[in-house]
Amino acid sequence: MRIDILSVVPELLDSPLSHSIVGRARKKGLVEIHVHNPRKYGIGSHRSVDDYSYGGDAGMVMMVEPVFRLLEELQAERDYDEVIYLSPDGERLSQPIANALSLKENIILLCGHYKGIDQRIRDHLVTREISVGDYVVSGGEIPAALLADAIIRLIPGALTDETSALSDSFQDGLLSPPVYTRPAEFNGWKVPDVLLSGNPKLIRAWQDEQALERTKRLRPELLDNKNL
């Protein structure tokens, strides 16, 4: 898989894309990540990528031309499955979306900044818009890193134990059950006996029960479309 990220502040992406699971996946050659700055095609001697908003609204807006030129360059080199704009009014990121994107070969993530991007970019160049939540942050870099992480950890070989991702919260529409590790008792707090039983059937039944109970208690809206 290849992920190209367009950002006017590429330094914000250095650390989250270089360490842990994402960093290891890159070292293994499971994913390529390339970050590009639209200032390459910025306007004028200062390589400007933003300008005042028509209509007099406060805040600067990313201009269409630098983004268009950079996308044009990238798309001349290969076909992309998606050009995704990280936007607070996009579709809400979910595990099924991450699952589907993990099967793509080439995707572009476009990070907005300032007040946002010229609407013509969204109308003519973007194929999909994704939101990481109902709030606004300073730019699309952190959401892009979050989306990349959610995708990359699903690529076969990215996790040491590939079955781990299958038991994550939301994979089956439920929250994941509680997890424990050694010691079996600490400060009088004990690990549930069933997890020490060595009986896979009982353990699985307990985990299913806990996942359902947790979801009912913490995220009941997830059960609205499930016949439980």
Locate the domains of the chain by residue range: 2-152, 169-223
Token digits of residue 41: 């095609």
Rounded CA separation 144/86 (Å):
7
Rounded CA separation 2/102 (Å):
10
pLDDT of residue 226: 58
Rounded CA separation 141/49 (Å):
16
Question: What's the predicted TM-score (pTM) here?
Answer: 0.89
Superfamily of domain 2-152: SPOUT methyltransferase, trefoil knot domain (3.40.1280.10)
Give the pLDDT of the chain (228 residues) as one tens digit per residue: 999 999 999 999 999 999 999 999 999 999 999 999 999 999 999 999 999 999 988 899 999 999 999 999 999 999 999 999 999 999 999 999 999 999 999 999 999 998 899 999 999 999 999 999 999 999 999 999 999 999 999 999 999 775 566 556 567 789 999 999 999 999 999 999 999 999 999 999 999 999 999 999 999 999 986 555
pLDDT of residue 172: 79
pLDDT of residue 160: 75
Distances in Å between the alpha carbon of 193 and those of 142, 170, 180?
Answer: 41, 26, 11
pLDDT of residue 206: 96
| Fold classified for 169-223 | Trp Operon Repressor; Chain A (1.10.1270)
